[in-house]
């Protein structure tokens, strides 16, 4: 009788060990959050719907100082959880083929365009669009319950003055992606 009770107790202990181990294994490798972390990061993005083409004043070659006066494309990234997370701001070229204003125009080359990226009112990056690796404008870690406000200005570079930039346009899409840890 003692043997049967001992075997039942050992079976229950083995079952409990396998159950707990499998839950910990899942949480560590598959759920995206580590053990003991009760909240999962959540990014909310608010994009400016009105201005994802180059500002009309940016369709002539400009220097960096003059470009600061252009109306920017605004967007916000908000972390709505308590945990910090890392995200990427991505810029993609877009072609407008069904709009009467743009269908007959060519797309400007990234070699002709410069950008200024500001975070919370301070310019953090400038340069040629062609120099952006993998379309990633910015990679940043954001603390929990924090909002980052971005302003993006894209304009024809004064270096492109001797190139064929007239009667062309540039349209872009901004996307924010959380990095998988």
Give the other-Cβ count within 10 Å of 142's Cβ: 18
Q: Is the domain of 69 the same as that of 125?
A: yes
What's the pLDDT at 39?
Answer: 40
Q: Is the domain of 134 the same as that of 157?
A: yes
Residue-averaged pLDDT of the chain: 81
What's the pLDDT at 41?
Answer: 57
* Residue that the structure tokens 């600061």 belong to: 68
What's the pLDDT at 91?
Answer: 92
Locate all alpha helices (DSSP H) within 31-136, ordered by sequence.
Answer: 64-67
For residues 129 and 25, the model is more confident at 129
Q: Is the domain of 4 the same as that of 75?
A: no
Distances in whole angstroms, Cα of residue 85 to Cα of each of 36, 78, 144: 16, 11, 8
Q: Is the domain of 91 the same as that of 63?
A: yes
pTM: 0.70
Q: Is the domain of 72 the same as that of 122?
A: yes
Which residues, other chains included, contact 163 with Cβ-Cβ below 8 Å and sequence gap of 6+? 109, 112
* Residue that the structure tokens 């007959």 belong to: 104
Residue 142 β-bridge partners: 85
Average pLDDT over residues 111-126: 93
Q: Is the domain of 32 the same as that of 96?
A: no
Which residues, other chains included, contact 160 with Cβ-Cβ below 8 Å and sequence gap of 6+? 61, 111, 112, 113
Q: Is the domain of 25 the same as that of 47?
A: no
Distance from the Cα of residue 47 to its chain's centroid: 11
Distance CA 56, CA 162 (A): 19
Number of structural domains (the chain) is 2
Taking only the tens place, the pLDDT of each residue in 71-116 is: 888 999 999 888 888 999 999 988 776 666 665 567 788 999 999 9
Please give the residue range of the domain that contains residue 152: 43-178
Q: How confident is the model at residue 35 (pLDDT cuts 50, 70, 90)?
A: very low
Q: Is the domain of 116 the same as that of 81?
A: yes
Q: 69: domain CATH number?
A: 2.60.120
What's the pLDDT at 66?
Answer: 87
* 32: pLDDT strictly greater than 70: no
Q: Is the domain of 30 the same as that of 48?
A: no
Q: Is the domain of 32 the same as that of 48?
A: no
């Amino acid at each position: 009788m003692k043997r049967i009770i001992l075997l039942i107790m050992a079976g229950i202990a083995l079952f409990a060990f396998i159950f707990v181990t499998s839950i910990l294994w899942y949480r560590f490798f598959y759920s995206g959050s580590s053990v003991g972390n009760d909240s999962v990061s959540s990014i909310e993005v608010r994009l400016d719907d009105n201005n994802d083409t180059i500002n009309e004043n940016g369709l002539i070659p400009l220097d960096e100082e003059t470009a600061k006066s252009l109306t920017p494309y605004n967007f916000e990234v908000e972390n709505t959880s308590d945990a910090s997370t890392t995200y990427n701001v991505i810029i993609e070229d877009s072609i407008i083929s069904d709009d009467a204003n743009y269908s007959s125009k060519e797309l400007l080359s990234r070699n002709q365009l410069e950008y200024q990226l500001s975070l919370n009112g301070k310019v953090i990056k400038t340069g040629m669009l062609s120099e952006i690796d993998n379309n990633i404008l910015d990679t940043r870690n954001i603390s929990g319950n924090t909002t980052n406000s971005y302003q993006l200005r894209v304009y024809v570079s004064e270096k492109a003055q001797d190139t064929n930039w007239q009667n062309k346009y540039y349209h872009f899409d901004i996307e924010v992606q959380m990095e998988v840890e």
